[in-house]
Chain A
Amino acid sequence: MLLAILAGFILALFMPSLIKGLKGKSTIAVALLPFSLFVYFISFLPRISAGETIEFHWDWVPSLGVGMDFYLDGLSLLFTLLITGIGTLVFVYTSSYLKGHQYLDRFYAYLSMFMGSMLGVVMADNIITLFIFWELTSISSFFLIGFNNDSEPSRKSALTALGITGFGGLFLLAGMVTLGFITEEFQISSLSAMSGEIHAHELYPWVIGLVFIGAFTKSAQFPFHFWLPGAMKAPTPVSTYLHSATMVKAGIYLLARFTPVLGNHPWWNTTLIIIGGITMLYAALHAIFRLDLKGILAYSTISALGILTFLIGLGTTAALTAAAVFILVHALYKATLFLITGIIDHETGTRDVSKLAGLNKVMLPVGIAGLLAAVSNAGIPPTFGFVGKDLIYEATLHFDSMAWVLTGAAIITNVALLFAGFLAGIKPFAGKLPKAYAKVHLPPAAMWVPPMILAVLGMLFGMIPPLVDGPLIKPIVSALTLRTPDFHLHLWHGFNVVLALSVATIATGIALYFFIKPSEALLGRATRFEAISPHSLVRGLGRGVTWFSEKWTNFLQNGYLRYYLITILSFLTLLLAYRLFLGVEIYVDASTLSEITIYEAIIVTIMASAIIFTVFTKSRLAAVAAMGVVGYSFCLIFLFYSAPDLAMTQFSIDTLTVILFVLVIYNLPKYLNLSETRDRIRDGLLALVFGALISVLTLEVLNETVEKDISTYYAEQAYLLGKGKNVVNVILVDFRGFDTMVEITVLAIAALGVFSLLKLRLKSIEKE
């Protein structure tokens, strides 16, 4: 079973070489993978319908409670069959749709990676594993949406989709971890037994809130729905597979999967009913006004997802049954409509529904598939859609409170969806064929057979409900309610309120179809409120964040050396000052200090004046000379205090520096005050404060006793080991000889640098 799930990933690795091996011919063979998986999963059907569940365990990170645990029950099985079944058809369809595309190998690789991730999501029995596969679907979806990577809108949509679903994924992770924290159980199948404990826990609202955000972002519920229409930039097979039949249903799957664990609580039900209700109405009304076929389908998909959320929110057995059936109904007709749209786009080059008509004359089989899908979508008997819609009305009518409001919302949604389905499935094929499309021809069978199969299935299941009733739907409902259900799906329920509602829905929908003609004006009216739509708000938020981070970066990382220095120094000053004045007692022990002689006093005075002069003089030469004075005074101090070597070094080095400065000084620019007075005062204050702090710090350190171990060692061993009488010299050339060698190397490098810079000057003058 592990192999079955990971097969998609493994194949994705070898896909590029595989496609190259096939050399553009018979790429249809790739569809063997999903097909064999489909056969594999369908082989479980008898066992699942008998009420069994199939489990698989493989320890992954046992210390964290993370395992590759998989679990197959009715709900998982429906999804695995949808994933592999529609996957097979999409693989076949793609081989023709993207025939000869240079990146076909990549496309198949992404697609099979996605299939693997999706199988992982619906079968995972460990909440962390579930999250990992969940994220993998987001990532593979990102690659698929952005497949046309040379188009900017495509890249942007991919990023939006990844941003929204990734954002939701993080919430989901937080929810899962919280849930694990409450129960100390990571096994989903064991969680439902703890339902009561979880409900009573004070973190319960957090858990459902976090899981909701995860599910709503993935399943495009209001107000996170806007990434889905954008995701339609993807090639049509992707829209079919990910954005209508499988991935967007992952959120629904999650809600359904956790219904036995988290459901049956007023907060859970109310939130889902409200959000699902808003989504289904909002998106259904939007779908009516779109012109782009894919736009229509995107919004009607969102609306369908809303219906599913809504049904799971109702939470009654009838509602959950309706949800289970509707998942299948929707997958069948919506995938068909998407595939048909792909064919129309591929053959005519447009998806504008107001321009398309009469294509029946040139591609009849496609038209038939479209008609069947639209009819199933409309819920006209004897299609499977009719069964689905009956169940929905059944569920809303028998709900405890506000049954008529809920039913009303469902009716409005269904009318709008019917209209949208007719637009996508019938309008392009009916009427007179425009001259522009007279030369359009039927695509290869690989393209029109898949939608046909799906459409026919939709019809078949409607006419013979027992085909799916016992084997599929019952195990799902028992997985969701933890009871063995007692019902049968029927096409015909007799004359009752539900039938009346169905008839009313169909009649209104068809009337609408003949009454409203899609046009630019209507689209304009529907998009009037675009400025306050969630999409615009998020875009605005994104721009705001970018703007803020730009300002913030420019403020901190402004590229001016001195501002970096000021920041570092101010921080250091504050830190030091805080420590010094709060934690340290400042005092000076006069007895340890040495006396001041008159020579020293004079030298110190000269140094102080020279330093101040260096800072404030207006002449470069004077500044350099004053610096020289500072250096020579240093020599004297070193000399007074027993450091003859230092005095000699300082003397020679200082002389050299001053000479060097004077030598190049005529080539240097005027010694101007570039900064403004305000800046100078600010810098001066900072410098003074910092200098004062260093002074205080030094005084404090002087109060500490000195550890002289190392010095004593050198002093004692200098002659014995190093055979030298000048201890400083022995340290440098003997004890620390390697350091000195490296130092000489540094000097040599500096000398090389100086030399080459000077050389460079000669050359450039020669050029001139």
Chain B
Amino acid sequence: MEILLVIIIGLLYAAGIYMILRRSLVKLIIGLILLGNGANLLIFLLGRIVKGHPPIIGSTEKALADIYADPLPQALILTAIVISFGLQAFAIILVKRAYKVVKTDDLDEMNATDEDI
């Protein structure tokens, strides 16, 4: 399974970078999202994947015992997902605003600095 996930990570990175290199702002945002997903999966995988043992302490126990999924990467990823949502939401609205003002989402045409908003 790790091999498959590794391939998906590579694919997500490749797709993300390809999209970021495009001239369209919408594609740029999609690229960012894909890249973010790739990074999340990378962290997740590097904490090693464990099936069926979520890091939740049993009702009768006081600490995690035996095999359990690593809680640390999960905490990191949770933070990352939420933060990237903030970024995405802001970026999407910004693109929309920018398009309203300059009538393009082509990065190459957005080169004037003194537009009135």
Q: Is the CB of A714 closer than 8 A to any CB of chain B?
A: yes
In the complex, are the beta carbons of A719 and B57 less than 8 A apart? yes
In the complex, are the beta carbons of B81 and A668 less than 8 A apart? no
Nearest CB of A to B20, in Å: 6
Tell me which of A604, A669, A727 contacts B8 (CB under 8 A). A604
Nearest CB of B to A654, in Å: 9
Q: Is the CB of A695 closer than 8 A to any CB of chain B?
A: yes
Measured in the bound complex, the distance between the Cα atoms of B82 and A761 in whole Å is: 26
Tell me which of B1, B46, B108 contacts A560 (CB under 8 A). B108
Interface residues of A in 718-768 (CB under 8 A from B): 718-720, 725-728, 731-732, 736, 739-740, 743, 746-747, 749-751, 753-754, 757-758, 760-761, 764
Tell me which of A569, A627, A695, A753 contacts B9 (CB under 8 A). A695
Nearest CB of B to A629, in Å: 12
Measured in the bound complex, the distance between the Cα atoms of B67 and A708 in whole Å is: 12
In the complex, are the beta carbons of A671 and B93 less than 8 A apart? no
Measured in the bound complex, the distance between the Cα atoms of B38 and A184 in whole Å is: 61
In the complex, are the beta carbons of A630 and B6 less than 8 A apart? no
In the complex, are the beta carbons of B64 and A727 less than 8 A apart? yes
Interface size, chain A (Cβ < 8 Å): 99
Q: Is the CB of A584 closer than 8 A to any CB of chain B?
A: no
CB-CB under 8 A from B112, the residues of chain A are: none
CB-CB under 8 A from A669, the residues of chain B are: 24, 26, 99, 104-105
Closest to A605 in B: B4
Nearest CB of B to A145, in Å: 37
CB-CB under 8 A from B78, the residues of chain A are: 645-646, 649, 728, 732
Interface residues of B in 59-77 (CB under 8 A from A): 59, 61-64, 68-72, 74-75, 77
Tell me which of B1, B10, B14, B97 contacts A600 (CB under 8 A). B1
In the complex, are the beta carbons of B64 and A715 less than 8 A apart? yes
In the complex, are the beta carbons of B79 and A631 less than 8 A apart? no
Measured in the bound complex, the distance between the Cα atoms of B23 and A612 in whole Å is: 19
Closest to A708 in B: B70
CB-CB under 8 A from B107, the residues of chain A are: 560-562
In the complex, are the beta carbons of B18 and A593 less than 8 A apart? no
Segment with Cβ contacts to B, from A17-25, A207-215, A393-401, A685-693: A685-693
Contact indicator per residue, chain A 656-667, by CB within 8 Å of chain B (1) or not (0): 110011001001
CB-CB under 8 A from B21, the residues of chain A are: 562, 565-566, 683, 686-687
In the complex, are the beta carbons of B1 and A691 less than 8 A apart? no
Interface residues of B in 75-117 (CB under 8 A from A): 75, 77-79, 81-83, 85-90, 92-97, 99-100, 104-108, 111, 117
In the complex, are the beta carbons of A694 and B82 less than 8 A apart? no
In the complex, are the beta carbons of B85 and A657 less than 8 A apart? yes
In the complex, are the beta carbons of B24 and A674 less than 8 A apart? yes
Please, could you name 13 A-B residue pairs with CB atoms under 8 Å apart, sorted by A?
A593-B3, A607-B8, A611-B8, A615-B19, A620-B26, A669-B26, A698-B10, A716-B64, A719-B61, A726-B55, A728-B71, A728-B74, A732-B78
**Leading 3 A-B pairs by shortest Cβ distance:** A691-B14, A695-B10, A642-B69
> Knowing that A559-B111, A641-B49, A667-B100 are A-B contacts, what are 9 other residue pairs whose CB atoms are under 8 Å apart, sorted by A's residue number?
A566-B21, A604-B5, A611-B8, A612-B15, A642-B51, A669-B104, A690-B13, A706-B47, A754-B93
Q: Which residues of B contact A (CB under 8 A)?
A: 1-24, 26-27, 30, 33-34, 37-38, 40-42, 44-59, 61-64, 68-72, 74-75, 77-79, 81-83, 85-90, 92-97, 99-100, 104-108, 111, 117
